[in-house]
């Protein structure tokens, strides 16, 4: 498969509920509103011309308020709800074109589903619950036991396999539900308000666990939520829905910077900007960078000229090594910088939020580096840069 091609492609997905769906669809395509179509035919528009892509290995959050169509959309992807029109492609397979037998097989092998309700069998142990999908597939007992135990360990329930659901907390039961889906090794994981029934602290833990799992397993996940904070915690892109239609797609930072309309603007007006804007958004080019074989005297000269609080030190390949402050440099003469590094941890990844940057700067660091995946230097952030980034966001959201 082409790595640049989306794993899931949703195109023009429309769902009309009611006996008059056939009469309602032409009216909808002719431009009549949801209310007008309902008045004319009695049919209810659940989805209207919904299109989006889900890339390989990403968590895409489909969100909106109650009645927005988000859960209907998820169920149309695997045809638990039959779409009225449109298509869903998973790799090269058009899910909407499969017959009943093909669809059942496709669901068993390509989709995993995790619901808000834990849906565990109370009379089965956790192991046998997690084995269930493999049992339906006809997987041999020894193999399905091994795969189930691996999935149980993956979600942090090792040692609980012989317990029953009633003996587990709500968060642990949801982990078991996730393990059952992972045991099937699906290409696409569909999660419908999966953490909504959990207490807030457990919910945050599960969000962090899911992000960590996704980084390790590289699963492609479509996650339905009504909670913007949850969408931000899961990271990545968001598809925001209202009245069965997609209002805007992008990251939370995109919604802040360029809201599509007043609905989006109101939706994000209480967002924690520090938790959304990344270090990469706020960084600037460094004015005092020296290779680590440079002398303290050379570094001090550029430090005085630039007015920066520290010198950022890189190796000959441009990777961040640490910082050196002025007091250290003044006393070091011709000593090479690689021997003087006073702070090797004065850095954050470009994908980190400003909350992470604030935590680093609050510890007394005058300036921190922004680095790439291989610690290559991308830029720097000081306290003034944080203030400037916040000012820009406030200006963008008020115009």
Does 210 have pLDDT greater than 60? yes
- Is 210 a domain residue? yes
- Is 4 a domain residue? no
DSSP state of 295: B
**283 and 271 inside one domain:** no
Q: How confident is the model at residue 233 (pLDDT cuts 50, 70, 90)?
A: confident
pLDDT tens digits along 53-111:
999 989 999 999 888 999 999 999 999 999 999 999 999 899 999 999 999 989 888 99
**109 and 157 inside one domain:** yes
Backbone angles phi, psi at 153, to 5 degrees: -65, -40
Does 396 have pLDDT greater than 60? no
What's the number of domains the chain is made of?
Answer: 2
Q: How confident is the model at residue 52 (pLDDT cuts 50, 70, 90)?
A: very high
Show which of 275, 295, 324 is a domain's final residue. 275
Do 8 and 188 meet the contact criterion of CB atoms below 8 Å apart? Answer: yes
Residue with tokens 């565990």, as numbered in its chain: 120
Written as six digits, the tokens of 394 are 């406030």
Show which of 224, 247, 275 is a domain's final residue. 275
Give the containing element (helix H, strand E) for 111. strand 111-114
Do 336 and 292 meet the contact criterion of CB atoms below 8 Å apart? Answer: yes
Q: What is the CATH number of the domain that holds 295?
A: 3.10.580.10
Q: Give the burial class of 246: count Cβ atoms within 10 A of its Cβ; 0-12 exposed, 13-18 middle, 19 or more buried.
A: buried
DSSP state of 336: B
**234 and 341 inside one domain:** no
Give the containing element (helix H, strand E) for 15. strand 8-17
Instruction: Write down the number of H helices and E strands in the chain.
Output: 16, 16
Residue with tokens 């493999």, as numbered in its chain: 134
DSSP state of 132: H
- Is 88 a domain residue? no
Distance between CA atoms of 114 and 175, rounded to whole angstroms? 10
Comparing CA positions, the residue from 84, 101, 78, 90 lying closest to residue 46 is 84
Q: How confident is the model at residue 2 (pLDDT cuts 50, 70, 90)?
A: very low
**237 and 347 inside one domain:** no
**271 and 285 inside one domain:** no
Q: How confident is the model at residue 10 (pLDDT cuts 50, 70, 90)?
A: very high
Residue 80, sorted as left (phi over 0), alpha (psi -120 to 50) or beta, turns out to be alpha
Angle at 50 between CA 44 and CA 56, to 5 degrees: 140
**108 and 231 inside one domain:** yes
The pLDDT mean for the chain works out to 88
Give the containing element (helix H, strand E) for 25. helix 21-29
- Is 44 a domain residue? no
**212 and 293 inside one domain:** no
Cα–Cα separations (whole angstroms), residue 65 to 144, 249, 250, 263: 39, 15, 17, 11
CA 289: distance to chain centroid?
A: 34
Distance between CA atoms of 149 and 126, rounded to whole angstroms? 10
- Is 239 a domain residue? yes
User: What pLDDT sits at residue 306?
Assistant: 86
Percent of the chain with pLDDT over 90: 46
Does 163 have pLDDT greater than 90? yes
Average pLDDT over residues 251-255: 84
Do 192 and 114 meet the contact criterion of CB atoms below 8 Å apart? Answer: yes
Give the containing element (helix H, strand E) for 130. helix 126-137
**375 and 317 inside one domain:** yes
Does 178 have pLDDT greater than 60? yes
What is the reported pTM?
A: 0.76
Q: How confident is the model at residue 314 (pLDDT cuts 50, 70, 90)?
A: very high
**314 and 336 inside one domain:** yes
**161 and 286 inside one domain:** no
Range of the domain at 146: 56-79+99-275
Show which of 275, 310, 327 is a domain's final residue. 275
More confident residue, 192 or 116: 192
**258 and 288 inside one domain:** no
Q: What is the CATH number of the domain that holds 74?
A: 3.40.50.300
**316 and 367 inside one domain:** yes
Cα–Cα separations (whole angstroms), residue 50 to 56, 118, 138, 139, 249: 20, 28, 36, 37, 11
- Is 10 a domain residue? no
- Is 386 a domain residue? yes
- Is 16 a domain residue? no
């Amino acid at each position: 498969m082409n790595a640049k091609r989306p794993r899931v492609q949703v195109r023009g997905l429309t769902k009309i509920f009611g006996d008059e769906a056939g009469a309602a669809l032409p009216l909808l395509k002719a431009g009549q509103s949801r209310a007008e179509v309902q008045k004319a035919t009695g049919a209810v528009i659940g989805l209207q011309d919904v299109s989006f892509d889900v890339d390989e290995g990403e968590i895409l959050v489909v969100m909106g308020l109650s009645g927005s169509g988000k859960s209907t959309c998820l169920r149309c992807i695997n045809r638990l709800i039959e779409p009225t029109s449109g298509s869903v492609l998973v790799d090269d397979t058009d899910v909407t074109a499969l017959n009943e037998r093909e669809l059942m097989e496709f669901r068993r092998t390509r989709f995993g589903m995790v619901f808000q309700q834990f849906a565990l069998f109370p009379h089965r142990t956790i192991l046998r619950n997690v084995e269930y999908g493999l049992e339906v597939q006809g997987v041999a007992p020894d193999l399905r036991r091994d795969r189930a135990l691996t999935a149980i360990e993956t979600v942090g329930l090792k040692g609980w396999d012989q317990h029953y659901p009633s003996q587990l907390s709500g968060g642990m039961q949801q982990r078991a539900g996730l393990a059952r889906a992972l045991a099937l090794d699906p290409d696409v994981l569909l999660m419908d308000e999966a953490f909504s029934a959990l207490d807030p602290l457990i919910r945050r833990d599960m969000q962090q666990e899911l992000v960590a799992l996704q980084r390790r397993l590289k699963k492609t996940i479509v996650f339905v939520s009504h909670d913007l904070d949850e969408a931000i915690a899961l990271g990545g892109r968001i598809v925001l829905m209202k009245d069965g239609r997609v209002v805007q797609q992008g990251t939370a930072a995109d919604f802040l910077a360029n809201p599509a309309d007043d609905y989006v603007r109101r939706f994000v007006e209480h967002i924690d900007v520090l938790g959304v804007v990344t270090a990469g958004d706020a960084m600037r080019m460094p004015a005092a960078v020296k290779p680590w074989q440079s002398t303290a005297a050379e570094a001090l000269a550029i430090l005085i000229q630039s007015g920066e609080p520290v010198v950022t030190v890189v190796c000959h390949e441009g990777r961040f090594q640490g910082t050196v402050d002025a007091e250290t440099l003044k006393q070091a003469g011709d000593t090479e910088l690689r021997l003087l590094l006073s702070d090797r941890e004065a850095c954050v990844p470009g994908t980190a939020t400003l909350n992470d940057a604030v935590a680093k700067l609050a510890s007394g660091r005058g300036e921190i580096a922004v680095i790439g995946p291989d610690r290559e230097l991308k830029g720097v952030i000081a306290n003034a840069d944080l203030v400037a980034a916040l000012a820009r966001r406030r200006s963008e959201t008020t115009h």
